[in-house]
Amino acid sequence: MSTTLSELTERAKLWRKDIEFTSEIAGTSFDFRSTWGIFSPEKPDAGSLMLIDHIDWADLPADANSIDLGCGYGILGMVAASKLPGGHHTLIDKDFVAVDYAQKNLKLNQLTNAEAHLSNGFDQVDKTKKFDLVMSNLPAKASKEQHYLYLLDAHARMNPGACFYVVTINGLREYMKRSFAQPNLTASWYYSIEHIEISQTKRSRTIDVITTLEESDSSAGSNLCGAVSNYWLDHKNSFTGIRIIGIGGKITNYRYSLNNKCS
């Protein structure tokens, strides 16, 4: 049975209301407000969560300044503001709706050491500002030229020893590798976008990272599958499985099972 116009009109009343949810990220509970039309409006996206998990927060000074490039409704910048309370944190996006909700979420979570404002890349960021941490869940649909502008402007605004973390879709993997390999970008710190992490898991919870491999192609996955065989046989009574997780734009999960086959 098709939905009638009156039924859709009633549903639309709910769709126009703010989406509200709470999520625990990096050990802290955050309240969020969002709306349809913003990226991943109902929960934090997997790419941003992976990026947050791989930032070495303990190595950053408490007064480090950060920028969240393409902030959406504020996830990365909010976590930075919570983790680095002595610094100032800038959240920017070219979408006015995203910025509006990022501002709401900063206020909702009483993060007074952060601000969100409109900017197309770094165009509207104070030229005197320098950052110790640059983060971005890079937009997949931006042009190559726009991505280069993001990277070049970020590099120009980084303090010596600053960190630059990005997460992107799998289709941009080779482009990002080439871009970070440019001689004029060697001063920036880069965490490999593509690596594979083998972790022991118990009840779907990561217990211990066993090893990592830098390329997540099919041959690497096959090699990793074989590499955990003996380990699995030694520990199968204690753990429910071993997950091989591809870190990057595409999340690849293999469950190493009792019959020694990755699926």
pLDDT in tens, 201-221: 444 433 344 444 333 333 333
CA dihedral angle for residue 174, residue 180, residue 182, residue 186, rounded to 10 degrees: -160
pLDDT in tens, 106-144: 999 999 999 999 999 999 999 999 999 999 988 777 777
Give pLDDT, residue 26.
Answer: 95
Angle, CA of 65, 135 and 150, to the nearest 5° = 105
Q: Which residue has the tokens 């993060």?
A: 111
- Other beta carbons within 10 Å of 185: 15
Kindly report the average pLDDT of the chain as a whole number. 74
By the 8 A CB rule, do 183 and 160 touch? Answer: no
pLDDT in tens, 31-56: 999 999 999 999 999 889 989 998 98
By the 8 A CB rule, do 116 and 145 touch? Answer: no
Give pLDDT, residue 140.
Answer: 72
pLDDT at 259 over 80: no
Measured CA to CA, the distance from residue 195 to residue 45 in angstroms comes to 19
Q: Is the pTM of this model over 0.85?
A: no
Give pLDDT, residue 146.
Answer: 82
CATH of 23-190, one of 3.30.2320.80, 3.40.50.150, 1.25.40.10, 1.10.600.10: 3.40.50.150
Domain boundaries, the chain: 23-190, 195-256
pLDDT in tens, 157-172: 999 888 888 887 766 7
pLDDT at 226 over 70: no
By the 8 A CB rule, do 21 and 101 touch? Answer: no
Measured CA to CA, the distance from residue 43 to residue 47 in angstroms comes to 12
pLDDT in tens, 71-82: 999 999 999 999
pLDDT at 184 over 80: no
